[in-house]
Amino acid sequence: MSRVALRPTRGIPPLAWSALGAAALLAVPILIRYGAPGSERYYLHILIQILIWSFIYTGWSLMGRFGLTSLGHGAFTGIGAYTTVLLWNVAGLSPWLGIPVGIGLATAAALLVAYPCFSLRITGHYFALMTLALTEFVRLCIVGWRDYTGGSLGTQPQRAPGGVSITALQFEPDRVLSYYIALALWALGLWMWLRVDRSMDRYALDAASQDEEAAASVGVDVTREKLKITGLSAAMCALGGAVYGQYQMYIGPDTIAGLGVSLNIVFGTIAGGLSVLLGPTVGAVFTQLLSEVLRVAVQGSGLTAQLGSAALALDTAIYGALLIFFIIYMPKGILGTILEARRRRRAGAP
């Protein structure tokens, strides 16, 4: 079957650069070991967080780029993380099985909310609100079921004896191993993105985001296309959430389930660039560094003493302000704007 190329997607780096980048990323632990021996664990920790969130953001961008703005992804990461940990803690089920169950549940939840939305042609703000309700529902379940979930304090996967464990999928004590796991996850995300980008589904969704009825009139099954991308996106976020929980060895409604997480995902992805391959990655670099800087600044300034736990909400407030800035002044995000400027310069060069 012939592939129909509508319009080449921009922002996919050429092969040589990709190979160079991959080699550099694989070498990072060595570079850090010799470059910053005292802070090896700290730097790897930041990178691991960036990689895992990049994967989650990439998952969100798969549907976000087609105008399907979901505030439900904090529910999907939460379902992935909590299902995995609870099955391990309560039933002794290995995360190797728990994660697929979590992915299945998150996908089912996504389709359950999305199906009525899509078949009734609920889009835009209303879709965002429907998915927001799902996030809140999941958070309430977590808080309400506190005997198992630890409520709003969160909970931990029971440690397998001996630290690193394959059956328990616990790898956190070994930061270098954790880094490579996160790197593999990140690469998986990029691969998924490219697969979607090169499929007919992308053209169908792109067209549907511009005019649903016209897309239907040329033969696009709009509801089905949207459900497919929503399911995939939710599944990826559930996987990302589960891996995040395994790495952090802690899950809580604030860190991996709930509206704050949803907003963080939306903000990070939009900040980085919604429809370019590495946009979500740039976004994750941005949000992770931002929250690190904020954490250090807040701790250093003694604000915590005055504001108490309210200081924790500071980064959410700053995110909100920045999100408005990006939507108004930089709707293509950091990477999208840079790539566009470069292309303009090339095209306009005499």
Partner 1 sequence: MLELSGISAGYAGAQTLFDLSMRVEAGEAVAVIGANGAGKTTLLRVISGMLPARSGSMTMDGVSLRDSPPHRIVETGIAHVPESRRLFPRLSVESNLKMGAFIPAARARFRERLDYVYGLFPRLKERRSQLAGTMSGGEQQMCAIGRALMSGPKLVLLDEPSMGLAPVVVQQVFDLVRRIRQEGYTVLIVEQNVRQVLKVADRGYLIEVGRIRAGGTAAELLASDAVRDAYMGI
Q: Which residues bind partner 1 (CB under 8 A)?
A: 1-2, 4, 6-7, 200, 203-204, 206-207, 210-211, 213-221
Q: What letter would DSSP give residue 313?
A: G
175: which 2 tokens? 């930061």
Closest approach of partner 1 to the CB of residue 122, in Å? 15
Q: How far out from the chain centre does Cα 313 lie?
A: 20
Q: 3-class DSSP state for residue 170?
A: strand
Closest approach of partner 1 to the CB of residue 220, in Å? 6
Whichever of 84 and 275 has its CB closer to partner 1, that residue is 275
Whichever of 2 and 309 has its CB closer to partner 1, that residue is 2
Whichever of 174 and 221 has its CB closer to partner 1, that residue is 221
123: which 2 tokens? 């889009």
Closest approach of partner 1 to the CB of residue 218, in Å? 5
Residues 220, 202: Cα–Cα separation, whole Å: 11
Closest approach of partner 1 to the CB of residue 66, in Å? 12
Whichever of 38 and 219 has its CB closer to partner 1, that residue is 219
Q: Are 165 and 189 within 8 A, CB to CB?
A: no
Whichever of 66 and 171 has its CB closer to partner 1, that residue is 66
Closest approach of partner 1 to the CB of residue 58, in Å? 23
Q: Are 40 and 32 within 8 A, CB to CB?
A: yes
Closest approach of partner 1 to the CB of residue 202, in Å? 12
| Helix (H), strand (E), coil (C) string for 315-347 | HHHHHHHHHHHHHHHCCCHHHHHHHHHHHHHHH
277: which 2 tokens? 């391959």
Count the Cβ atoms, other than its own, within 10 Å of residue 215: 20
Whichever of 6 and 327 has its CB closer to partner 1, that residue is 6
Contact residues for 108 (Cβ-Cβ < 8 A; gap 6+): none
The owner of tokens 């956190």 is 172
Closest approach of partner 1 to the CB of residue 222, in Å? 8
Q: What is the dihedral of CA 133, 136, 137, 140, to 10 degrees?
A: -160
Residue type, position 133, single letter? A
Radius of gyration of the chain (CA): 20
Whichever of 204 and 242 has its CB closer to partner 1, that residue is 204
Closest approach of partner 1 to the CB of residue 336, in Å? 15
Residues 127, 69: Cα–Cα separation, whole Å: 7
Contact residues for 337 (Cβ-Cβ < 8 A; gap 6+): 273, 330
143: which 2 tokens? 């808080």
Whichever of 172 and 225 has its CB closer to partner 1, that residue is 225
159: which 2 tokens? 């440690």
Closest approach of partner 1 to the CB of residue 219, in Å? 4
Strands (E), 221-276: none
Whichever of 216 and 314 has its CB closer to partner 1, that residue is 216
